[in-house]
């Protein structure tokens, strides 16, 4: 929001703290959405990562081109963890009468998803390597559709585009 205000030529240029205080004076508060996820760092994962990085260094030194691929997804209802909330709104009816909203709902994790997969290297994304599709199931786990069979089909098609020998 601050960047949007800063981009408006008609508005004065203000700092982050000043903007924060203005929003507080307007009766907004910054709250964090609750999620129960955390990152666990295990000894076996630390060792695995160390060996992986040593191998990558060796392959680079030998002139091999390194490719990276990843997949991700986004639910139709995903929103940010923190939002500005107008504390002056007393109810959904109050917001409706005043022409305001009560803010974005907390996502259920259900519904359609967009699933994406891509491959790249230090030279950028590989031509033809982007796979993106809308899930057909209303499942929280996109792996039902981006499974081994679908991944293999994509991978077999992209293999001819990859350089296999060191330069």
What are the tokens at 113? Answer: 């998803």
Output the CA torsion 5→7→8→11 (10° steps): 60
Reported confidence tier of residue 78, pLDDT bands at 50, 70, 90: low
Q: How many whole angstroms separate alpha carbon 112 and alpha carbon 120? A: 27
Give pLDDT, residue 52. 95
More confident residue, 4 or 34: 4
pLDDT digits (tens, 9 = 90+) for 139-153: 555 566 778 888 899
Q: Which two tokens stand for residue 154?
A: 């994509």
Q: What is the C-alpha to C-alpha distance for residues 152 and 101, in angstroms, rounded to an integer?
A: 45
- List the structure tokens of 58: 């060796």
Question: What value does the mean pLDDT of the chain take?
Answer: 81
Residue-level length of the chain: 167
Classify residue 89 by its DSSP letter.
-
Structure tokens at 28: 């907004």
For residues 131 and 158, what is the distance between their CA atoms, to the nearest angstrom? 10
Instruction: Tell me: pLDDT of 84 over 80.
Output: no
CA 8, distance to chain mean position in Å, is 27
Q: How confident is the model at residue 95 (pLDDT cuts 50, 70, 90)?
A: confident
Average pLDDT over residues 131-144: 70
Statement: the pTM of the whole predicted model exceeds 0.75 = no
């Amino acid at each position: 929001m601050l960047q949007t205000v800063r981009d408006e030529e008609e508005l004065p240029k203000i700092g982050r703290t000043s903007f924060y205080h203005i929003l507080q004076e307007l009766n907004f508060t910054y709250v964090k959405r609750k999620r129960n996820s955390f990152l666990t760092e295990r000894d076996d994962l630390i060792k695995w990562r160390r060996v992986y990085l040593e191998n990558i260094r060796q392959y680079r030194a030998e002139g091999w081109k390194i490719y990276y691929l990843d997949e991700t997804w986004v639910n139709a209802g995903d929103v940010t963890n923190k939002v500005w909330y107008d504390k002056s709104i007393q109810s959904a009816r109050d917001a409706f009468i005043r022409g305001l909203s009560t803010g974005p709902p907390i996502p259920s994790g259900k519904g359609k998803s967009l699933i994406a997969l891509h491959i790249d290297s230090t030279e950028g994304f590989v031509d033809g390597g982007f796979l993106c599709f809308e899930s057909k199931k209303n499942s929280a786990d996109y792996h039902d559709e981006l499974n081994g069979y679908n991944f293999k089909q994509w991978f077999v098609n992209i293999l001819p585009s990859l350089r296999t020998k060191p330069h």
